[in-house]
Amino acid sequence: MGFDHCVATCLVPLAIWILLSGLDDLWIALVLVFTGRKRPRRPAEAELDRVSERRIAIFVPLWREHRVIGQMLAHNLAGIRYFNYQFFVGVYPNDPATARAVAEAAQRDGRVHLCLCSHDGPTSKGDCLNEIYRSMVESEIRGGGRFEIITTHDAEDLVHPESLRLINFYSRDYAMVQMPVLPLPTGIRELTHGLYCDEFAEFQTKDIPVRQRLGGFLPANGVGTGFERAALERLAGDRGRIFEPECLTEDYENGYRLHALGYRQAFVPVRFENGQPVATREYFPRTLRQAVRQRSRWVAGIVLQGWQYHGWRGPWRQVYWFWRDRKGLVGNLLSPLANLIFFSIAGEALWSAATGQLRRFADPIPVWALRMCLATYVMAMLQVAIRAAASSRIYGWRFGVLSPVRTLWGNLVNFAATLAALRQFAEARMRRRPLAWRKTEHVYPRPRLGELLVRLHAVPMGEVEDAALGLPKGVRLGEYLVQLRKVSEDSLYQALSLQAGIPLGRPARAEVDRLATRVFPVDTVRRWKVMPYRVEPGRLLAVTAEVPSREMARALAGLSTLEIRYRLVLPREFEELAHEYLPAGR
């Protein structure tokens, strides 16, 4: 059998599969169009204010996140517009760097609690969350009061200021409330991260709302999810485990189990405030290797473990959503082949039209099969257009127009991830051991200064935008706003502290060691506005009136072998310290 006959043999069953999957996706799109008004009511600001604040515990499981957790906590503690909440941050005993970073944050703010796991890690995210829950209960027993809502977040999350208020509002009627989760925008050249942007935009604006309207169970997203405490305790039962420790996608598992127990679930619809979506934002993997690592965990947890735990049992409506969630196991493996055949036939057709040579691929295929193939590709183009429209709504049309290119790249990424998941699952079954938690490396996003000033209620967004339009060359936005007397210097430095993730405020006199202040040459202190004030094991603490830059780091690199930890101070405070501790006359 020749290559053309092999292609013809593969093409018909492949087209049938694509047609069935395409009809399924088309059905979801039609439901979205014709039931567009059937969505959870958006509360007005006055309604949010009238709802009494229930106590919320924010769980953050960690493994080797010392580089980002301090900034994450500082930024979100300052930005969240809610009073009655506390962070419970889980770390492992064999991760001292992360434990130290959380302990420092807890010293600065009483709303942060260090939860030390009872065993070394890493285990699984679900297991770490269970350890955090145990620590929270111990805190309640010591007299901390009872928490009524539990939310989950990761170390890289930008929690929207309104997130807890919305969860608190909807939790009066729902046992699980899911806030939208959307990747932060990146450049159009970053195909891998752009793929996440496209997929989450489509999923959050089309799939999840339709799922809710049709009565399907809502899979939790792992972050930005609020759980009713009583519902989680019912899930835990006598085991005391509110999350399944052996499941790689404990969020998805809890979403299904809560729905199966009859609890109501709600997805907060995507809405915009000051031109930005009200959602949990974060950076997702930006390289192929990291993306395959994360997506293989999703496939193994949602598809393979979900199949293992629940099979195809349940009401037909839920079985349908099992099909929706698991069809990627086949689709991911077939998509690259479908792309290859499509471009082969299209290329041959163009070559035949240009040269007059006979076409080989189409001849062995019946006419009805060719028509079916044409229908599948029309349907595929429709789905690509829907995804591009969803992406454009969140990220703008310039980003959305390249969605078809990222879709092709995504087919290869998902193909590799599915193969990796199948291999991991098979190895675990053969060796009779649980699947390993393949953790994703996190990078905390650097929020914009203007956005932080608005979140701190230091200046309205309109005045920030006006200042940005009239910004003189060589002048930074924060300095310009101070010059215009739109913000105070104190507010500016509070925002800079949050943006850089370093503490703000002059150290107490008892903390300053006069000998330590002489570590750097006086001209270096004056040039970079940075002065050491204390030596600790392995670290040199320094105050600075400037946000540390790469140039500053290079200039100071040869002056000390210790790790330099900074504290931001106001310019006038730095001058007072320099006057007091630098040699006279310098």
Q: What is the pLDDT of residues 452-466, one digit of tens each?
A: 887 777 888 788 888
Same domain? 467 vs 523: no
Residue 325 forms part of a structural domain: yes
* One-letter amino acid for residue 189 of the chain: R
Tokens of 532: 């050491």
Same domain? 369 vs 391: yes
- 332-356 pLDDT per residue, tens: 998 888 777 777 767 766 766 677 6
Among candidate residues 435, 469, 500, the one where a domain is terminated: 500
Same domain? 485 vs 394: no
Residue 295 forms part of a structural domain: yes
Same domain? 201 vs 176: yes
Answer yes or no: are the C-beta atoms of 156 and 184 closer than 8 Å: no
- What do you get for the CA distance between the two ends of the chain, in Å? 89
506: left (phi over 0), alpha (psi -120 to 50) or beta: beta
State residue 231's pLDDT score. Answer: 95
Domain that holds residue 246: 1-35+148-444
State residue 8's pLDDT score. Answer: 58
State residue 365's pLDDT score. Answer: 60
Answer yes or no: are the C-beta atoms of 6 and 363 closer than 8 Å: no
Answer yes or no: are the C-beta atoms of 87 and 112 closer than 8 Å: yes
- Burial letters for 412-433: b for 16+ Cβ neighbours within 10 Å, e otherwise? ebbbbbbebbbebbeebeeeee
Beta strands 85-91; 56-61: pairing state: parallel
Tokens of 527: 């040039």
| Domain of residue 561, CATH code | 3.30.300
Q: What is the mean pLDDT of residues 219-229?
A: 94
Q: What are phi and psi of 540, to 5 degrees?
A: -115, 120
Residue 281 forms part of a structural domain: yes
Mean pLDDT, the chain, rounded, equals 87
C-beta atoms surrounding 143 within 10 Å: 6
Same domain? 529 vs 495: no
CA distance 422 to 427: 9
Same domain? 359 vs 219: yes
DSSP H helices in 285-400: 288-298, 306-310, 316-326, 328-355, 367-395, 397-400
CA distance 186 to 287: 13
State residue 554's pLDDT score. Answer: 86
CA distance 529 to 567: 12
Q: Which helix (H) or strand (E) holds 485?
A: none
Answer yes or no: are the C-beta atoms of 191 and 286 closer than 8 Å: no
Same domain? 341 vs 403: yes
CA distance 511 to 514: 10
How sure is the predictor about 2, in pLDDT bands with cuts at 50, 70 and 90? low
Residue 86 forms part of a structural domain: no
CA distance 290 to 296: 10
Contacts of 73 (CB under 8 A, 6+ apart): 87, 89, 102, 105, 109, 112
Q: What percent of the chain has pLDDT over 90?
A: 52
Q: Which of 198-207, 418-427, 450-459, 471-480 has the lowest mean pLDDT?
A: 450-459
Same domain? 573 vs 496: no
Answer yes or no: are the C-beta atoms of 369 and 12 closer than 8 Å: yes
Among candidate residues 416, 444, 472, the one where a domain is terminated: 444
Residue 391 forms part of a structural domain: yes
Helix axes 3-34, 367-395, angle to 10 degrees: 50
C-beta atoms surrounding 398 within 10 Å: 9
- Burial letters for 148-180: b for 16+ Cβ neighbours within 10 Å, e otherwise? bbbbbbbbbbbbbbbbbbbbbbbbeebbbbbbb
C-beta atoms surrounding 103 within 10 Å: 16
> Which one has a higher pLDDT value, 22 or 164?
164
Q: What percent of the chain has pLDDT over 70?
A: 92
Answer yes or no: are the C-beta atoms of 364 and 6 closer than 8 Å: no
Same domain? 459 vs 577: no
Length of the chain as a residue count? 586
Q: With CA atoms as reference, report the closest residue to 11 among 348, 459, 494, 245.
A: 348
- Burial letters for 57-95: b for 16+ Cβ neighbours within 10 Å, e otherwise? bbbbbbbbbbbbbbbbbbbbbbbbebebbbbbbbbbeeb
* One-letter amino acid for residue 140 of the chain: E
Q: Which helix (H) or strand (E) holds 413?
A: helix 403-431
Answer yes or no: are the C-beta atoms of 54 and 84 closer than 8 Å: yes
Same domain? 476 vs 438: no
Cα dist from 228 to 143, 175, 393, whole Å: 21, 5, 32
Same domain? 494 vs 433: no
How sure is the predictor about 125, in pLDDT bands with cuts at 50, 70 and 90? very high
Give how many domains the chain has, as a whole number: 3
CA distance 375 to 371: 6
Same domain? 390 vs 411: yes
Cα dist from 5 to 2, 271, 361, 366, 373, whole Å: 5, 52, 7, 12, 16
β partners of residue 56: 85, 149
CA distance 7 to 345: 10
Contacts of 581 (CB under 8 A, 6+ apart): 512, 514, 517, 531, 533
How sure is the predictor about 360, in pLDDT bands with cuts at 50, 70 and 90? low
Among candidate residues 444, 470, 486, the one where a domain is terminated: 444
CA distance 495 to 490: 9
Residue 572, pLDDT > 80, answer yes
Residue 98 forms part of a structural domain: no
pTM: predicted TM-score of the whole model, two decimal places: 0.83
Query: Is the link from the previous residue into 583 a cis peptide, with omega within 30 of 0?
Result: no
Residue 90 forms part of a structural domain: no
CA atoms within 13 Å, Cβ hemisphere of 60:
26
Residue 425 forms part of a structural domain: yes
Cα dist from 435 to 40, 247, 296, 329, 428, whole Å: 37, 8, 11, 18, 6
State residue 279's pLDDT score. Answer: 94
How sure is the predictor about 13, in pLDDT bands with cuts at 50, 70 and 90? confident
